[in-house]
Amino acid sequence: MTSELLNATDSPLDARPRYALVVRLPRQAEARIADAYLWLPGITRPSMGYHITLLGPLLLSEGVGPEAFEAARAVCARWGAFGVQIAGLGAFENDGVNTIYLGVVECDRIVPLHRALYEALDDRIDFASAQYRLWNESAYTPHVTLSLGLDERALMDLLATNQRRAVVVDVEVTSVWLVMQGPAGAWQFLAEYTLGEEPGAFALHSAPAAGPR
């Protein structure tokens, strides 16, 4: 995948909210990543915290409401918790613009979960660009984004500074979060789908981006 897939912009004529299904990293994992990388030039912390995107960004098809995401909750109910490892600094490169990320190196279960979520929602969702559709349909690469838009010189400096660091972060994935972004708004956490938990009554709620977890 290239940085173009991550940085593609939505049509200004499409005012539909954007959604995504993500794994929120626990505070201990976030602290380890911040201690290891946040001091490096160009590295930032996303407003919603460090996370792994499982599906999205996506749009709901015309006439489809947020209750469609109950299909995602049902998928999560059939899965148990599992562990992943986050390690290895890499870059999606495109025409001199680079997205820096940490790879998900133990992902034998996270990729099938992505596929199950995509298949459950496929006929109810759209994508704002062909690049987003490609990434979700056939080029999914689980990762934790650290920085967007570094030029080639900044990328080389960053990789040179990082070459002696070998940070491995173990994360237990116990739930999937539904997040939403309105047109020009910040991402909001709407619902948590606990892996292995039977679906209850449909409800959405808003949680702060940096709230307790």
Q: What is the DSSP string of 58-80?
A: EEEPTT--GGGGHHHHHHHHT--
Share of the chain above pLDDT 90, in %: 54
DSSP 207: B
Q: Are 62 and 88 in contact (CB under 8 A)?
A: no
Residue 46 lies in a domain: yes
Q: Which domain holds residue 43?
A: 17-194
188-to-64, 75, 123, 142, 185 alpha-carbon distances in Å? 20, 22, 24, 21, 9
- Most distant pair of Cα atoms in the chain: their distance: 52
Residue 205 lies in a domain: no
**pLDDT above 80: residue 9:** no
The three-class DSSP label of residue 37 is helix
Residue 12 lies in a domain: no
Q: What is the pTM of this model?
A: 0.85
pLDDT tens digits along 106-126: 779 999 999 999 999 999 999
**pLDDT above 90: residue 167:** no
Average per-residue pLDDT in the chain? Answer: 84
Residue 149 lies in a domain: yes
The three-class DSSP label of residue 182 is coil
Domain count, the chain: 1
Residue 212 lies in a domain: no
**Dihedral sign, CA of 133, 135, 140, 146?**
negative
Residue 185 lies in a domain: yes
**pLDDT above 80: residue 93:** no
Question: Domain with 92 in it: what CATH number?
Answer: 3.90.1140.10
Distance between CA atoms of residues 119 and 121, nearest Å: 6
**33-37, 59-63, 118-122, range with the lowest pLDDT:** 33-37
Give me the residue label for tokens 């080389």.
156
Residue 69 lies in a domain: yes
Residue 72 lies in a domain: yes
